[in-house]
Structure 1
Amino acid sequence: MEIEELQSAWTKMSDELDQQKKLTNKIILDMTKQKYQNKFTTITKYESLGALVCFAIALFVIFNFNKLDTWYLQACGAFTLLFLIVLPVSVLSTLKKIKNIDILNGSYKENLKVYVHTKNRLLRLQQIGIVVGFIGLFFIVPVTSKIISNKNVFLNSLKTEQIITLTITLVAMAFFCNWAYKGYKKITRSAQELLQDLE
């Protein structure tokens, strides 16, 4: 009788340990998922705020598009609208996709493959955004100048203070873009390490 009781107790304790192990693994996975998603929460907030600013400027350009009275100013206006709408939407949709990878379901290998593909797309969009942002100054400035002050910068020579302001803007943009891109790389690297720890 004692042996049967001992075996029963042993089986019960073994089942309880298995349940506890499963519960511990689930807690660890849930915490990892939360940490993973938190990596992209701050970036998503900043990008959402930036997108709202871009959309507001795009609406301003749309409502004042009739002030762009030459074909080249209208072309600049069209490029400005593309830049202000397409890029933020692309970045936000990619951020949503990368943040919502379900790391609790699917195989580790498949999740990592999806992550790496989406991460590369996100970083590529940032690179495109940087390049287009610098080029964009040369089509956004004429549009805003014409809409706000009714001046066609293509017909007027730049004054010294305008050249200095443009130079300072370019230097500030270079520093900001470099800092932001390094931040993206750091966060995506950290998130990838979290995923790799699940192996």
Structure 2
Amino acid sequence: MELEELQSAWTQLSNELNHQKKLTNKIILDMTKQKYQNTFTTITKYETIGAFVCFAIALFVLLNFGKLDTWYLQVCGVLTLSFLIVLPAMVLTTLKRIKNIDILNGSYKDNLKHYLKTKNRLLKLQQVGIAIGFMGLFFIVPVTSKIISNKNVFLTSLKTEQYVLFAITMVAMVFFCKWAYNGYLKVTRSAQELLQDLE
């Protein structure tokens, strides 16, 4: 084999290896992107179901808003509607934004910066949701009580078993909120590690 043929064969082999390397890198990036998006799939499903439940309850409250016959029950009704509509919509929007970060385009630095900003917003929304959820008991319970049983809890004294039930609800909410928030931390940490592996 002459030198020119050897150089030609070497160049062809080098081109094929470069092509193979690019193809392998593309496959790895595609798999990482899919894995990244799948990280948020389960949490998005739960949040979507939760949002539909909230929207259905909000519709129920809206259809029965006329039963809230005092100004303070109407204020509680508006707060309830805001909680049931605004917060789930904001969480779903932020989840969509974080899930759809295009890690194949843009620089690693820009993608990570965008991810961290969106992640912090998502976690902040969860913290706000937890805080409002606890405060929400004080404006959601009066609304549901008035709509369902036509009782104004502000004008009735609670029985001992109602105080116990309220305390049990608060404790259960603490455990559920802690569990849910830890789930968010785990998911966002896992997604961040996937992004950092691309560096």
TM-score range, shorter chain: over 0.9
Question: Shift in Å at residue 137 of structure 1?
Answer: 0.5
Equivalent residues in 2 for 1:20-59, closer than 5 Å: 20-59=20-59
2:75 corresponding residue in structure 1: 75
What is the CA deviation profile of residues 137-193 of structure 1, one whole-angstrom value per residue up to 9, with x for unaligned ones?
000000000000000000001111111111111100000000000110111011011
Q: Which of structure 1's runs of 4+ aligned residues deviate more than 6 A?
A: none
Give the TM-score normalised by the residue count of structure 1: 0.99
2:134 corresponding residue in structure 1: 134
1:98 and 1:33 map into 2 onto residues whose CA distance is 12
1:165 and 1:22 map into 2 onto residues whose CA distance is 62
Question: Shift in Å at residue 20 of structure 1?
Answer: 0.2
CA RMSD of aligned residues (A): 0.6
Question: Shift in Å at residue 2 of structure 1?
Answer: 1.7
Letter in structure 2 aligned against 1:118: T
1:84 and 1:158 map into 2 onto residues whose CA distance is 26
2:17 and 2:110 map into 1 onto residues whose CA distance is 30
Question: Shift in Å at residue 136 of structure 1?
Answer: 0.1
1:101 and 1:38 map into 2 onto residues whose CA distance is 12
Question: Shift in Å at residue 4 of structure 1?
Answer: 1.4
What secondary structure sits across from 2:158 in the alignment? coil
Equivalent residues in 2 for 1:94-105, closer than 5 Å: 94-105=94-105
1:136 and 1:125 map into 2 onto residues whose CA distance is 15
What is the CA deviation profile of residues 27-72 of structure 1, one whole-angstrom value per residue up to 9, with x for unaligned ones?
0000000110011010000000000000000000000000000000
Letter in structure 1 aligned against 2:183: G
1:176 corresponding residue in structure 2: 176
**Percent identity of paired positions between Structure 1 and Structure 2:** 79
2:136 and 2:156 map into 1 onto residues whose CA distance is 19
Asked if 1:89 corresponds to 2:92, the answer is no
1:165 and 1:8 map into 2 onto residues whose CA distance is 83
Question: Shift in Å at residue 5 of structure 1?
Answer: 1.3
1:165 corresponding residue in structure 2: 165
Structure 2, unmatched stretches of 5+, are none
Structure 1, unmatched stretches of 5+, are none
What is the CA deviation profile of residues 108-141 of structure 1, one whole-angstrom value per residue up to 9, with x for unaligned ones?
0000000000000000000000000000000000
2:145 and 2:112 map into 1 onto residues whose CA distance is 47
Give the TM-score normalised by the residue count of structure 2: 0.99
Question: Shift in Å at residue 22 of structure 1?
Answer: 0.1
What secondary structure sits across from 2:146 in the alignment? helix
Paired residues, what number? Answer: 199
